[in-house]
Chain A
Amino acid sequence: SQTIHQWPATLVQPVGSPLSLECTVEGTSNPNLYWYRQAAGRGLQLLFYSVGIGQISSEVPQNLSASRPQDRQFILSSKKLLLSDSGFYLCAWGSGQETQYFGPGTRLLVL
């Protein structure tokens, strides 16, 4: 069966520091991968998606970036965090008819 992992589970970072969040999927090959963000009290916002290694599409211009170095690995990064980057970051995978399955999330607090 397929599983999706995210780490870290929680993170507290100072403004201006770098960020790296990792997502890995097991039990499937060539999945579509997604990064979403959920700010406090708000809905999910799609940030990036990828249909294959090295292929990244950005939905929202911002100081975040994403990379897919391996088929089942998706990384979300920032060189300098802003206060507004705080939120709950969710990775998801999908294939076929695009039912998407979400990971447990990373809660990021930027101070």
Chain B
Amino acid sequence: DAKTTQPPSMDCAEGRAANLPCNHSTISGNEYVYWYRQIHSQGPQYIIHGLKNNETNEMASLIITEDRKSSTLILPHATLRDTAVYYCIVRASYSGGGADGLTFGKGTHLIIQP
């Protein structure tokens, strides 16, 4: 799986959009971009994933650049409960017969300020 680079920490004001960047310059054509977050003392929570098109769900939006070498996770209206470590993971989908673990880096510690 391709390596990802994220800033170690970011601050965002409550109610504002939080934009979390991720670089994945060695991504290959069959690799997806996944985002998870981990709130303190809890298991990681799946947020969103995408291949090359931008994606949106009830939690967030994922913007992937045209060359797929970087992406941005957007939390449109951050709340205090969004304070967590956010992990960007690049991973190929598998087809039948096998499985593979996720490789978590150090992520970005997002702190939402009141």
Q: Mark B85-96, 1 if CB is under 8 A from A, else 0.
A: 000000101100
A59 to B97 alpha-carbon distance, docked (Å): 17
Check: A53 CB closer than 8 A to any chain B CB: no
- The interface-forming segment of B17-25, B74-82, B98-106 is B98-106
The number of A-B residue pairs with CB atoms under 8 Å apart is: 53
A50 to B97 alpha-carbon distance, docked (Å): 11
Shortest Cβ distance from residue A96 to the other chain B in the assembled complex, whole angstroms = 9
Q: Mark B24-59, 1 if CB is under 8 A from A, else 0.
A: 000000001010000001111110010000000000
Knowing A97-B93, A98-B94 are in contact, say whether A49-B45 is a contact too (CB < 8 A): no
Contact, CB under 8 Å: A44 / B102: yes
Interface size counted on chain A using CB atoms at 8 A: 25
Hey, which chain B residues are within 8 Å of A97, CB to CB?
32, 93
Check: A90 CB closer than 8 A to any chain B CB: yes
Hey, which chain B residues are within 8 Å of A100, CB to CB?
46, 102
A34 to B103 alpha-carbon distance, docked (Å): 12
Interface of B is mostly: loop
Hey, which chain B residues are within 8 Å of A34, CB to CB?
99, 101
Contact, CB under 8 Å: B99 / A98: yes
Contact, CB under 8 Å: A46 / B101: yes
Contact, CB under 8 Å: B46 / A101: yes
Shortest Cβ distance from residue A64 to the other chain B in the assembled complex, whole angstroms = 15
> Of the candidates A46, A50, A57, A102, which one forms a contact with B43 in the assembled complex, judged by CB atoms under 8 Å apart?
A102
Contact, CB under 8 Å: A94 / B99: yes
> Of the candidates A50, A102, A107, which one forms a contact with B44 in the assembled complex, judged by CB atoms under 8 Å apart?
A102
Known: A44-B102, A90-B44, A102-B45. 13 other contacts (CB 8 A): A34-B101, A43-B107, A44-B104, A51-B98, A90-B43, A97-B93, A98-B93, A98-B94, A98-B99, A98-B100, A99-B34, A99-B46, A102-B44
A-B contact pairs, 5 of them (CB 8 A): A46-B102, A51-B99, A88-B41, A99-B34, A105-B42
Top 3 nearest A-B pairs by Cβ distance?
A46-B101, A102-B43, A32-B99
**Residues on B facing A (Cβ under 8 Å):** 32, 34, 41-46, 49, 91, 93-94, 97-107
